[in-house]
Amino acid sequence: MSQYVSRLGGSLVAPRIRFPGGHRKPRRIAMLSVHTSPLHQPGTGDAGGMNVYIVELAKRLAAINIEVEIFTRATAGELPPVVELAPGVLVRHVDAGPYEGLAKEDLPAQLCAFTHGVMQAWAGHRPGHYDLVHSHYWLSGHVGWLAAERWGVPLVHAMHTMAKVKNAALAEGDTPEPPSRVIGETQIVRAADRLIANTGEEADELVRFYDADPAKVAVVHPGVNLERFRPADGRAAARARLGLPQDAFIPLFAGRIQPLKAPDILLRAVALLLERDPSLRGRLFVPIVGGPSGSGLAKPEGLQKLAARLGIADIVHFQPPVGQDLLADWFRAASTLVMPSYSESFGLVAIEAQAAGTPVVAAEVGGLPVAVRDELTGFLIPGHNPADYAQALHRLLADPALAARMGTAAARHAESFGWDTAASATADVYTAAMYEHRRRVRSHHG
């Protein structure tokens, strides 16, 4: 039998590894998320798919008896130092820099203060309190590198996004990631005992762009909360709850409003649809659910102005970011989710929408070809030409039977992305990292 077994929608995932003697799962891990708190609502500020990932993963790890302590930067003075997120999951707020008004770009200067806070928390415990450090995103990776060395434990790191990959696929007029981030990421790739990639493509990018050792890279697909994101009582009921027109065609954008996510492409595609058939105006309702973020903050009104310029301001409806339960209703209510991103390490939103029974029209980038099955659960569009997106939308609009078939297939496809699977695969990565770390320490001392 080959070294890999196929599971999770045809991707290659290493089989469960068996270690000779003395292997065990970690009892307690320190998880680091410097720039975005697991308590923040996705779609606000820098909060997005990564927040969902950390919260869900931590809860499922706790359910298989791995305690998780998540360190994150305090963003308000009244926050308690420690919050129990779920049984077995603690969130520790670390003071590092002013609470308000720090952009993600300002955070590298606060890493020393953040590391100090992490070390202070650790100093209150007896030695061996944490078995492993799992850092998310490069800022956390730097703190994790130092903490893991100091505590004599392995470092497992998840990039989530990578500067070199983003810079290779920049939206027009978007700001490239700085060289300091590229250098930082390169150092973490070298220092980590294990790197977790969301998809096979991300694993390849780590090797190709950052010269990662392929033996250190493990592919674990993120999951989706299948209890929350499901077809439930269907589209009509969701539209009634949200006060949306029952017979409208609703192409939804849900996510942070910034050039990288390319919501403008949806607006341009809708304008092309109307150009081709002006009678559609009464049937189209285009919700944009999310707030400006990152480089989108430079022109927060940019998208509203574009809608007005394209003559579609009357059918584009801007909604502030919403909580996860309400987001599930938006997915159910939508005719399709549109994700024209320039770069996406996985695209969790695409799986969430499909789990709710909604087909997805997405750019063929990053992890989206794993998330979306082209022509089966939606359409993958090569490139970012609005005409291609308009064409895909027209196909769904013109053929309700196709849309319904895709929605059913989408819900079925999403079922293979449960968080329990992701958590047990992550625990396997931890076990492997600990086993090799111990072996290395022994041979070093021997």
- Is residue 35 a known part of a binding site? yes
- Is residue 255 a known part of a binding site? no
Reading the block at residue 8, the tokens are: 């999770």
- Is residue 51 a known part of a binding site? yes
* Helices 263-276 & 386-398 angle (0-180, nearest 10): 60
- Is residue 50 a known part of a binding site? yes
- Is residue 41 a known part of a binding site? yes
CA nearest to 342, candidates 421, 263, 427, 403: 263
- Is residue 181 a known part of a binding site? yes
Distance, CA of 19 to CA of 218 (rounded, Å): 16
CA nearest to 338, candidates 247, 235, 250, 240: 250
- Is residue 243 a known part of a binding site? no
- Is residue 20 a known part of a binding site? no
- Is residue 431 a known part of a binding site? no
CA nearest to 331, candidates 224, 418, 258: 224
* Ordered DSSP codes for 187-214: HHHHH-SEEEESSHHHHHHHHHHH---G
- Is residue 48 a known part of a binding site? yes
* Helices 348-355 & 324-333 angle (0-180, nearest 10): 70
- Is residue 239 a known part of a binding site? no
Task: Give the pairing type, strands 11-13 and 5-7.
Answer: antiparallel
Distance, CA of 360 to CA of 340 (rounded, Å): 10
- Is residue 289 a known part of a binding site? no
- Is residue 299 a known part of a binding site? no
- Is residue 49 a known part of a binding site? yes
Count of other CB atoms within 10 angstroms of residue 207 = 16
- Is residue 352 a known part of a binding site? yes
- Is residue 334 a known part of a binding site? yes
Contact 179, 166 (CB under 8 A): no
- Is residue 55 a known part of a binding site? no
- Is residue 331 a known part of a binding site? yes
Annotated binding site for UDP-N-acetyl-alpha-D-glucosamine: which residue ranges? 41-42, 49, 256, 261, 322, 344, 352
Annotated binding site for 1D-myo-inositol 3-phosphate: which residue ranges? 35, 46-51, 104, 137, 161, 181
Annotated binding site: which residue ranges? 35, 41-42, 46-51, 104, 137, 161, 181, 256, 261, 322, 331-332, 334, 344, 352, 358
Annotated binding site for Mg(2+): which residue ranges? 331-332, 334, 358
